[in-house]
Structures are given as structure tokens and as C-alpha cells.
Amino acid sequence: MKLSEIRKSTSSDLNKELVELKQELFKLRFQLATNNGTLENPMRIKNIKKDIARIKTVIRARELGKEE
């Protein structure tokens, strides 16, 4: 997910997306632990973590009133 897409979204949409990404991250970590450490796409965990960080950054900027 690109930063420009995140900034265009509303706060409620971002919160929903954040919950979904956290659930997906949990499922991937669970798969990693139970499937002898193998995943179809191990880079997906890294990408989800980055998306979560981007969304949290935009939400926090909006709370502080620094959104452009």
C-alpha cells in the first residue's frame, strides 16, 4: 500500500485496515511457527509490518494536526 493511498483514506478506513493487517500478521506468524518455519511468501510479513507502520504514522499525524 502506498503512502498516497493511505493519506487519501479516511480515519475510519485506516483503522479498519489496521485491524485487518494485524490479524493477517498474526495468522502469518502462526503459520510460520506451526509449519516448520515455511511460508509461501516470507516477504509478506515484512510488507505487512511496513504497511502497519505507515498507517500508524498517518493516523498519528492526523491526531497531531500535522497532516498536509
Task: Give me the pLDDT at residue 68, please.
Answer: 57
Quick one: pLDDT at residue 59? 94
**The pLDDT of residue 39:** 86
Q: What pLDDT does 26 receive?
A: 97
Instruction: Match domain 3-64 to its CATH number in 1.10.287.310, 2.60.40.1180, 3.40.50.970, 1.10.3720.10.
Output: 1.10.287.310
Is 30 exposed, middle or buried (CB count within 10 Å of its CB: 0-12, 13-18, 19+)?
A: exposed
Low-confidence residues of the chain: pLDDT under 70: 67-68
Contact assessment for residue 52 and residue 21, using Cβ atoms and an 8 Å cutoff: yes
Contact by Cβ (8 Å): 7, 67 = yes
